Amino acid sequence: MRIAAFLLLLATVGMVSAGPIDCKPMLTQYFDACHAGKCVMMAGGGLSSDGVHANFKGNLKVQDGSMRPIDKVNILSSSSYECNANNRYQPFLADKVESISNFNIYPNASIKIDDAMLSLICVEEHGNQFSFKISNLIFSFVMSIRDNCGQINFGENCQTTTPTPTTTSSTTGTPSTVTFELKVTNSWVTGADTFTQYDVIIKNNGAQTINSLVISHENFVPTDKWNIESLPSGDLTLPSYGSIGSGQTFTFGFITKSSTQPKFTVKSSA
């Protein structure tokens, strides 16, 4: 009897020291590393109850008290597949990478993904691994502390540095005193698309102030534009606040997926 009770006690003690444990103390070293200017790389994966595998990876920094992606966390999934050139189904397609930028780990061991606030689960037997459950998916991840946040090879652009070429072109129209200078200010890859951001500097080389300008264009397919308005005709015009004094410039911007540089021409000015 006494031996049985002793064994039972041992088993109970063993159970107490295993299983779910508090994640908060395990998070401290990663928060400390972020505060000390190090990089925390996070990588994880998960399975849904219907058999979809998903994997994710990203670099984290501390901002407003939570660890969050420096840029984004990329997710690759087994449900993103296509038949490749070798006639094999290729899952985890980097061309179909999705990303989450709203990903926060709080010191209290809550994790917020988009709008869902979840609790991290830690299990003694799993070491420094964190888990969470979101709808029917169970995810786990680990974090690793590095001196610098390098490029993560997980669906990112192969080019190690983002190209920021500055190309310039001038187009003249009527009056020939107006010139357009195009500058590439940024360029990045998201999924299969390469986006290019431009500044267009319109210069009035004439003697009169320009209060109204109608601009026609070629190859202009912006995903976003600012400081310039579209007329019902499709031509562009200065916003109501835009006038260009003699010798002055006016800048508008746009983002495009097209690799062809657009061309602008003055249609009329007053």
Ligand X SMILES: *[C@@H]1O[C@H](CO)[C@@H](O)[C@H](O)[C@H]1NC(C)=O
Are the C-beta atoms of residues 83 and 89 closer than 8 Å to each other? yes
In the sheet that holds 236-237, the strands lie side by side as 229-230, 236-237, 213-218, 263-269
- Contacts for 4 with CB less than 8 Å, ≥ 6 apart: none
Q: Determine the interface stretch with ligand X among 105-113, 123-131, 177-185, 236-244 (rule: CB under 6 A).
A: 105-113
Show contacts with ligand X in window 185-204 (CB under 6 A).
none
Residue 97 or 122: the one with the smaller Cβ distance to ligand X is: 122
Any contact of residue 110 with ligand X (CB under 6 A)? yes
CB atoms within 10 A of CB 211: 13
Pick between residue 117 and residue 221 the one whose CB is nearest to ligand X: 117
Could you say whether residue 157 binds ligand X (CB under 6 A)? no
Q: Residue 101 or residue 164: which is nearer to ligand X going by CB?
A: 101
**Choice from 29, 108, 170, 230 touching ligand X (CB under 6 A):** 108
At position 50, the amino acid (one-letter code) is D
Under DSSP, is residue 91 helix (H, G, I), strand (E, B) or coil?
coil
75 CB-near residues (< 8 Å, 6+ apart): 54, 55, 56, 97, 98, 99, 100
In the list 43, 100, 106, 201, the residue contacting ligand X (rule: CB under 6 A) is 106
According to the binding rule CB under 6 A, does residue 118 interact with ligand X?
Answer: no
DSSP string, 155-205: S--SSSS----------B-SSTTEEEEEEEEEEEEETTEEEEEEEEEEEE-
Minimum CB–partner distance for residue 67 and ligand X (Å): 12
User: Which one, 13 or 117, has the nearer CB to ligand X?
Assistant: 117
Q: Assess 90 for contact with ligand X (CB under 6 A).
A: no
Binding segment for ligand X (CB under 6 A), chosen from 53-61, 102-110, 141-149, 225-233, is: 102-110
What DSSP element (H or E) covers 255?
A: strand 249-256
CB of 119 to ligand X, least distance (A): 6
Chain positions contacting ligand X, by CB under 6 A: 106, 108, 110, 117
